[in-house]
Chain A
Amino acid sequence: MYNVGYLSNTTEYQQVVKLCRRSTVNVCTHEHFAYFRILARAIHALCRIGDELYVEPEPARLSFRAVSTSKSAYASFTFSESFFSYYNYEQTKSQEEDITCKVSMKSCMAVFRSPSHLYKQVESCQIRLEPDGVKLIFEFHCHHGIIKTHYLPIIECETLEAVYSKDMVPNQLVVQPKLLTFALMNFQANTMELTLVVTPQKMQLRNYAEDENEMKKTVRTELCLEPGEFDHYSISVDTSITFSLREFRALLMFAEAFNLPIGANFEIGGKPVVFVVNNAPIFESNFVFSTLTPLSNNQLNTSQQSDENAQCTSRVMKGTAFKKCDMAHTPSKRKVSPVHAGKSSIDSSVAVPGPSRSHTGLQEHHYQDIIENVNKLLPRFSIQEDCVKENGSAEDAENSAEEDALPGTPPPPPAKRARYIFKRCFQATFNSQMLPGYDEVIAEDSDDESSKRT
């Protein structure tokens, strides 16, 4: 079914088979260059989302994922077996769980950098994860028999998983990318965020800025689209969602390159929006963006900050998850905060204590509501680690239990938040003489005391 048809020479075939036996994952994109282009553009889109590329092979599919540093945007491309001309996935006995790895996005971009060369020269691409798990290998098979092999060092072995709801949301649309590109042309190039205001009768696109003063000075653009322009338009809950345009443009570029319709699934402002671009069954991509929570007094603000909530602990194994589990070093604990529906930004919350008492009261109340709602359908971006230990499964269960028990801790009232933000002001003045060993001289002055410069 999935043969190594691209090789004609028998000795090469044998060589590949040997490789297959040694490595645990070995896939190759279909001969037709279009497939390689899809992969290359997927990587390009992911590089505009996050700084690290998560590669996750599974028995019947291969996923590439990325998340932004602020955890407000997440993207995942999943290629099924049918995308590849051969798909070889072997799980060696020592591993109980899937092999995943994480590479630096910079290295990926170095590999996929020059589109003109890539699209013209490369015929197919072989992706391999070696058994020792130190490198991710991209082998480009180009014209004239040239083979370019790129070795990307693996940073760590971790999974990136987001929990989000795609199908059970009340608002779903499908739209052609050309329409959105055309719509965005009317907005200034430096627009950072886009607001979609939806009702069953129409959709409004607006640019948005957090600061009201800023909005006064910039041009405000509003564009209306009718339901008839969409391939599918089903709005059950009137709402307005605001998300970052930068990552959205990455998704739009990808969809437009292949003329694929974009699906949007969302509920209300404050909850994440999921964009889907797929060409079932060969691949599917999901882009999850957090949206800003609109306040009823028209002052848009963020929902609770992620650092105030419970933190999900996870363990990290450096690099060599593919080895057998009798490794000497102990895993290190690392705290990762889960992502929530709102963007977390400290500076916008400082704006909150400004207004009068009545406003703060309203916001507090609003926060309570948000937490209760958000806990139900959060995208929880949890970093789960591979555990190679025998008691791995038990610890994993403990981990997920901790995650599920995300407490509905109400955010501290503004006064307390101010204390948190300005906490250094409340601490004792730093005095270097308070540090232990301050009088211990490790290296004497080279110059004499007497010959000090005036």
Chain B
Amino acid sequence: MKFRGKIAESACMRQFANIIVTLARLSKLCVVRFTKDFIYFIIVEENVTVGKPMVWSVLEQTHFFNEYSMTGVSEDQNEIYLEFETDVMAKSLSSLRVSHGAKSVKMKLTNKKSPCLTFEIQLSELSHSRFCVHDIPVSVIPRKEWTALQEPVVPNYDVSIQLPGLKLIRTVAERMKSLSSHIVLLANHEGALILKVETPEATVSTHFKNLIMENSGGDEENTEEFFSARIDIRKFVQFLTSEQVNPSKVVCNIVDDKMVAMFLINEDIIMHYFLPAVAA
């Protein structure tokens, strides 16, 4: 197994580091899957839905890397699956997020006493060049565990609606966090979205109107009907901090009473976040 890549554009370095930071907020451990053309970050929530990914994100490697070469475990399975600690990597890559913080970063799969993902960062400074090397221990995931990390089957969503602005939603949801541990998301085909929190004393809801619908196709019979799902509010808010990745759009998909899937779409990354519905 071999992997070697180099990112030399500052915007790409920053975005890559932002992605890791966002992942660090969602989970302590993350799986990275390298293929010839794509890099996947997968977070599996063990105790909620066994084997089903909670976060599934895809990057096109050409959007980030100037140089990229990999050799997978075998010829027919030309892929590498590694598990790493997100907060450690986020801290190590913090210099990439500072403007003019780094000139380039090389990423390599190495074996230094144990398998490591080594980052060689060339920190930029006007006249001096400084090198910083981080050896981040990773664990190689054996092939038999790959099936649990496959792309989740996308169900037919009842409604797919574009969120107005992550920052706005986050402000609202964070206030609601103090009221209850679960939040209900409702959306209909007319472009209305409701965030609702219910407590014994009060029900608080925030209504958004005239949002853009994603083409979910299908029947236009009952456009006013709301589809809803009740989800864990903390996980919802955690996802909303991913505005750092600067998405061009965020789509909220609801399967009535079953789950909410948030899609964060950017030209260089797509992040899927699955939240199962919790009964009241």
Q: Is A185 within 8 A of B94, CB to CB?
A: yes
Q: Determine whether A296 belongs to the interface, using a CB cutoff of 8 Å to chain B.
A: no
Stretch in contact with the other chain, from B14-22, B71-79, B134-142, B253-261? B134-142
Q: Across the interface, which residues of A come within 8 angstroms of B94, CB to CB?
A: 185-186
How far does the alpha carbon of A228 sit from the alpha carbon of B127 in the complex, in Å?
A: 9
Q: Is B137 within 8 A of A223, CB to CB?
A: no
Question: What is the minimal beta-carbon distance from B121 to any residue of chain A, in angstroms?
Answer: 8
Q: Across the interface, which residues of B come within 8 angstroms of A70, CB to CB?
A: none
Q: Is A188 within 8 A of B91, CB to CB?
A: yes
Q: Across the interface, which residues of B come within 8 angstroms of A228, CB to CB?
A: 127-128
How far does the alpha carbon of A218 sit from the alpha carbon of B134 in the complex, in Å?
A: 10
Beta-carbon nearest neighbor of A229 in chain B = B128
The residues in B between 60 and 110 inclusive whose CB is less than 8 angstroms from any CB of A are: 88-89, 91-92, 94-95
The residues in B between 104 and 151 inclusive whose CB is less than 8 angstroms from any CB of A are: 112-114, 121, 123, 125, 127-137
Name B residues whose Cβ lies closer than 8 Å to a Cβ of A.
88-89, 91-92, 94-95, 112-114, 121, 123, 125, 127-137
Question: What is the minimal beta-carbon distance from B39 to any residue of chain A, in angstroms?
Answer: 20
- Contacts A185-B95, A186-B92, A186-B95 given; does A223 touch B132 at CB 8 Å: yes
Q: Determine whether A333 belongs to the interface, using a CB cutoff of 8 Å to chain B.
A: no
How far does the alpha carbon of A228 sit from the alpha carbon of B126 in the complex, in Å?
A: 12
Beta-carbon nearest neighbor of B117 in chain A = A219
Q: Is A220 within 8 A of B134, CB to CB?
A: yes
Q: Is B135 within 8 A of A220, CB to CB?
A: yes
- Contacts A185-B95, A186-B92, A189-B91 given; does A221 touch B137 at CB 8 Å: no
Q: Mark A179-192, 1 if CB is under 8 A from B, else 0.
A: 00000011011000
Question: What is the minimal beta-carbon distance from A179 to any residue of chain B, in angstroms?
Answer: 9
Q: Is A219 within 8 A of B114, CB to CB?
A: no
How far does the alpha carbon of A221 sit from the alpha carbon of B132 in the complex, in Å?
A: 7
Q: Determine whether A217 belongs to the interface, using a CB cutoff of 8 Å to chain B.
A: yes
Other A-B pairs, 4, CB within 8 Å; known A185-B94, A188-B91, A188-B92: A219-B137, A223-B130, A225-B130, A229-B128
Question: What is the minimal beta-carbon distance from B118 to any residue of chain A, in angstroms?
Answer: 9
Ranked nearest first, the 8 interchain pairs of A and B with the lowest CB-CB distance are: A220-B135, A223-B132, A222-B133, A219-B136, A219-B88, A221-B134, A224-B131, A216-B114
How far does the alpha carbon of A221 sit from the alpha carbon of B92 in the complex, in Å?
A: 8
Beta-carbon nearest neighbor of A218 in chain B = B137
Q: Across the interface, which residues of B come within 8 angstroms of A219, CB to CB?
A: 88-89, 92, 134-137
Question: What is the minimal beta-carbon distance from B221 to any residue of chain A, in angstroms?
Answer: 56
Question: What is the minimal beta-carbon distance from B136 to any residue of chain A, in angstroms?
Answer: 5
How far does the alpha carbon of A185 sit from the alpha carbon of B89 in the complex, in Å?
A: 13
How far does the alpha carbon of A226 sit from the alpha carbon of B94 in the complex, in Å?
A: 21
